[in-house]
Every structure is written in structure tokens, then in C-alpha cells.
Amino acid sequence: MVEETRAANSSAMAPSYFKISPIISFFVCFLFVTSSVCPVHSSESDGYGQVNQTFRPGERVQKLKTIRAHLKKINKPSVKTIQSPDGDLIDCVQSHQQPAFDHLQLKGKTPLDPPERPKGHNPTGMTSENFQLWSLSGESCPEGTIPIRRTSEEDILRASSILRFGKKTIKPIRRDSSSNGHEHAVGYVSGDQYYGAKASINVWAPRVASPYEFSLSQLWVISGSFGDDLNTIEAGWQARFQFLSYFTWLAQSYMGTITLGSSLTGLIAIGAAISPTSSYNGGQFDISLLIWKDPKHGNWWLEFGSGVLVGYWPSFLFTHLRSQASMIQFGGEIVNSGSSGSHTQTQMGSGHFAEEGFGKASYFRNLQAVDWDNSLIPLSGLRVLADHPNCYDIRGGINGVWGNYFYYGGPGRNVRCP
């Protein structure tokens, strides 16, 4: 028996008889929070857009010199380089030379040993499946190195400026308003103390209508106020204009900027494309993500799939999240730039409404939280919210196979969403 609820408007915040691949290939950005400017590639840059920029000859030469100096700083020396089928170059970088260790408080240090997993979590170990498109070549990075997609001049030129490259706009997020162009369809819990979250996220390649926009699906671990003093940890997947979908993980403070976090695994490349993704009425793929706070040292960790530790965020990066989270949120977000004078056609999830169900609408399943005792527990009191349900909606439920789950998404502009 499946119980369903539906968010009808923005004033309120399936049965499974099929086999789903628990792991897909994906694109990773490793991010920390800091109060200093850090020129790194972020998963949620709002600065893409000025792809065709015009410069006078002298200005162009100076800009290219600045870009190349910037690339020299962020593209670390590699032990080996792998050519991906999509044309990307994957550099195998010594783990202690990864960009995270440019942070003043991490210089000279090495990645931490793995912490204790939450009770009730039973990873099955490493998978033999290919994680990412680049790994289809059969090549891998040597032990002691991590794979990182090489940033190109074109990547930086897509940003509105070199200083904006790789940075998310630092501005307050409000769940009771989408006036900044960000629109959501989410499930969330609040009113308790949370020490982590887990979910399986259906992965698609939604259409993004403009270079100024994106479409993402992720989980948020949140503490602070939705004004100007907010800490978040976020992990999921994201699609951008003319880009393949990619995996993201980040932490941020809305009073600071974003820097890189510490990677542990040589299996997951920072910046490499997802393959495969789900198809309408076809194969469905999802990724399982777990974020939790190490009770011994207080750092926040991320695990992907069947036991692959991606990395961690040191506790010193945070104010509110140094102790615990006050809200957990799951779902989709898009940017509606309004550049066409009407609502964007950027899709959320699969681009189809929640009512279409499995194989057609995107989903989150097996939603859980980590409690004070470092134990995974079912969510209690999950609420759902759609900012603009005629554009993107959400429908939640619970059953014995998927636990807490919801379908969500939509096409954006349509006859009910002009």
C-alpha cells in the first residue's frame, strides 16, 4: 500500500518491482567553505553566460595571459593523463597536491583516515561498474593519486569574469520566495538535530535553456537562518547549458565563498561527465549518497554508492554546522533567468511532472537521517514544497521497499506555466 501526498502550492513547504543500478558515472567538484577568495570550479556557478565576449586586441592578450596564469594555479601537476571519450583530459594528481590543500589550514597535511560509518549503514564495498565516461577507456589513475578533469581556457571564458569562474553567487536563500530566480520542488524535515542524511537520487539529463541557468537535484544539510548567516552542505547532480550532467558536492556559507574539499578516492574524477543517465520509459539509474558527521573528529564526510568514500569537509570551515544541522532537504532546483520575458523552459528532473510516476518522472527514494548516536533512521514528518507547482511539482509517499520517497520535476514553461 502506497500513501501519497501532494504539494498544491508554495505556501506549504511507488511501489518497486524492478532492478535499479545503484551507481552511475558522474562529475565531481570538491568544495569547502572559506572566507577568502579561492579560484576553483564550483558546481553551482551563476556566472556562466558571456560565452561570446568581445575584446580589443590588447585587452584580449592581457585576458588570455591572466587566464593562463589562473589555469597554471588550478591545474595541478599530474603523474598521468587520461583522454576521455568526450574529449576531456583527466589528470592523475598526487592526493596531497589536490586543490583542497591550497587552503591555509590544510597546507602540508594529508587526507584523513576513514571514520566510523553510521550504524545501520551496510555498504557492500567497491563496485566493479564504471563510474564515469573517462573510465570506459579501461585506464585508471595510479595508487596515491586522484583523477581531476583538466580545466580549459574555454571553461573560464564561459564565466562572466575570471574572478567569478567557479563561484556560486553568495546571496541569501529563502524557501518562501523565488524572487532571485531560483525555483524548488523539495521534501524536507526540520525541528530536530540532524547529523547527516542519505538518499538515492534518480539521474537524468534535463534540458537547460540558457547559459545563465542550471538544473540540479541534490540533498542539503542546513544550519543557520535563511537570511545572511547560513551554512549548507550539498551533494547531488547538476546539468548546465550544453553540458553533460555531472555530480556535485559542496559546502558553503552565505557570508563567505567556496573552496575545494579533500578527496580520498582515485575512482571519482573531479569534473568528469556522467554516463549513463535515465531515459523516458527506458532504463533508470540512480546514485546513493550519504553525508554524515564523524562523531570523533567532527568533520562532515560524503560516501557515494556502495561504500566509496568521496572525501570530507573539515569542521573548522563552519559556524553553525560545527555542531549539527537543523534541517535536511532533498529535491530539485532550477534557475529561471527570465531572459525571454516568460518562464524558462529549463527542465527539472526528467522534465515531466510527478504524477507520471516511475520511468517517466524523476524520484528520490530511501530518505534517511543520521541521529545524535550516529545511527541511520527513517525520516519523520517529511513535508513537500513546490514553489511553482504549475511549472514543477512534487508528490511524496512511503512504502516498504522505497521507505520515504517522492517524485518531482516538470518541464518549466507550458500552458499552465506561461
Among residues 50, 55, 52, 77, which one has the least CA distance to residue 65? 55
In the block, residue with C-alpha cell 595541478: 76
CA distances from 148 to 90, 184, 268, 407 (A): 5, 30, 8, 33
Q: Which of 59, 333, 355, 356 is catalytic?
A: 333
Report the C-alpha gap between 100 and 260 in whole angstroms: 5
Known catalytic residue: 4? no
CB atoms under 10 Å from CB of 74, counted, come to: 20
Q: Could you please report the per-residue DSSP string of 228-240?
A: TEEEEEEEEEEEE
DSSP SS3 for 386: strand
Torsion sign, CA atoms 338, 340, 346, 351: positive
Known catalytic residue: 303? no
CB atoms under 10 Å from CB of 350, counted, come to: 29
Q: Which of 44, 234, 355, 356 is catalytic?
A: 234
Among residues 92, 102, 83, which one has the least CA distance to residue 40? 102
C-alpha cell at 395: 508528490
Report the C-alpha gap between 63 and 46 in whole angstroms: 21
Report the C-alpha gap between 78 and 97 in whole angstroms: 9
Report the C-alpha gap between 394 and 183 in whole angstroms: 13
DSSP SS3 for 101: helix
Report the C-alpha gap between 294 and 303 in whole angstroms: 12
Which stretches of 212-361 are assigned E, i.e. beta strand? 214-225, 229-240, 246-253, 257-259, 262-263, 286-293, 300-304, 308-313, 325-335
CA distances from 151 to 71, 210, 211, 265 (A): 7, 22, 18, 20
Report the C-alpha gap between 262 and 264 in whole angstroms: 7
Q: Which residues are catalytic?
A: 234, 333
